[in-house]
């Protein structure tokens, strides 16, 4: 993170989404990377290992979608559309 004022927001997002590491780059983009390797089932279902967004709000939305997609894979529901 290039600005210490971003740290509390990043920490809050990471607390809300414990599968992810969250930071803001020096390009002012918000990023998240999944903390563990994706399984083959998760990869086939379209789960993303990295996310990028222009704001913390956008990243929060992406994180929620990815968490839902991963939960669906764990439950055996692979019907979520890619990019949904």
Average pLDDT over residues 69-79: 75
Structure confidence by residue, pLDDT tens digits, 40-56: 988 998 999 999 999 99
| pTM over cut 0.85 | no
Structure confidence by residue, pLDDT tens digits, 21-37: 999 999 999 999 999 99
DSSP 27: T
The answer to whether the Cα torsion of 50, 74, 41, 69 is positive or negative is negative
Closest C-alpha to 22, from 59, 65, 47: 59
Where b means 16+ CB within 10 Å and e means fewer, 11-49 reads eebbeebeebebbbeeeeebbbebeeeeeeebeebebbe
More confident residue, 59 or 42: 59
Residue 73 has a pLDDT of 87
């Amino acid at each position: 993170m290039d600005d210490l004022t971003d740290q509390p927001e990043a920490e809050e997002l990471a607390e809300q989404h414990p599968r992810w590491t969250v930071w803001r780059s020096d390009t002012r983009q918000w990023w998240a990377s999944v903390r563990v390797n994706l399984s083959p089932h998760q990869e086939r279902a379209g789960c993303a290992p990295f996310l990028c967004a222009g704001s913390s709000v956008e990243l929060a939305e992406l994180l929620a979608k990815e968490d839902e997609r991963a939960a669906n894979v764990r439950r055996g529901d692979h019907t979520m559309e890619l990019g949904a």
